[in-house]
Amino acid sequence: MRYGMVIDLRRCVGCNACTIACKQSNGTPPGMFYSHVSLDEQGVYPNATAVYTPMLCAHCEEAACVSVCPTGASYRDEGGVVNIDHSKCIGCKYCIAACPYDVRTYVADRIEGYFPEHGLTEQEQRMYANFEVGKVYKCDFCRSKGYTDSIDPSCVRACPGDARIFGDLDDPESDVAKLLANEQTRVLGEEYGTKPNVYYIAR
């Protein structure tokens, strides 16, 4: 089994529903995003175009973050998902420096809510309790929530254009495997040699 994702850029409209769904589902503090949409403007007016690229952990087979971690806190599980064992994380931030996708976040200070002058809401208190100062956090395809193979990550379920497709890349009958077999796909940062498991179908 090897979990992965195909993102069809022909369907992405840059609505950031994935970004919001991820933040709501994971309860990430202000400034922390496991998933976001990058905006790049190409061309010159009147022929300018907005190009949206959803970004998240690529769950690389040769993950640089895993290879540099001195404690084994960053690791790949049996499903190929790159995870962090926070009981082993010492906050050295080597993984952040090594990751070519800039998708990890270090919690440096006590977490404040979106409206610090009013203190934390009950929801914020409950969700922020999952984050510890001095640790690094990232996307894990929502596996830490106990999702089964039949439940897609929150970003996938929220996408109104069905631009994100998740599944087992090693299963030839899965939707992601069929897309890889039948569509021309690419990965970001192929030159880094990390073998990402998040693929993109270009416009």
Contact present, 58 and 198 (Cβ < 8 Å): yes
What average pLDDT score do residues 176-199 get?
96
Contact present, 27 and 128 (Cβ < 8 Å): yes
The CATH code belonging to domain 3-201 is 3.30.70.20
Count Cα neighbours of 19 within 13 Å in the Cβ-side half-sphere. 17
What average pLDDT score do residues 165-178 get?
95
Q: What is the pLDDT of residues 28-62, one digit of tens each?
A: 999 999 999 999 998 999 999 889 999 999 999 99
DSSP string of 166-191? EEETT-TTSHHHHHHHHS-EE-TTGG
Q: Please count the residues of the chain.
A: 203
Q: What is the pLDDT of residues 66-110, one digit of tens each?
A: 999 999 999 999 999 999 999 999 999 999 999 999 999 999 998
> Any bridge partners for residue 168, and if so which?
3
Contact present, 185 and 193 (Cβ < 8 Å): no
> What pLDDT is stored for residue 7 in this prediction?
98
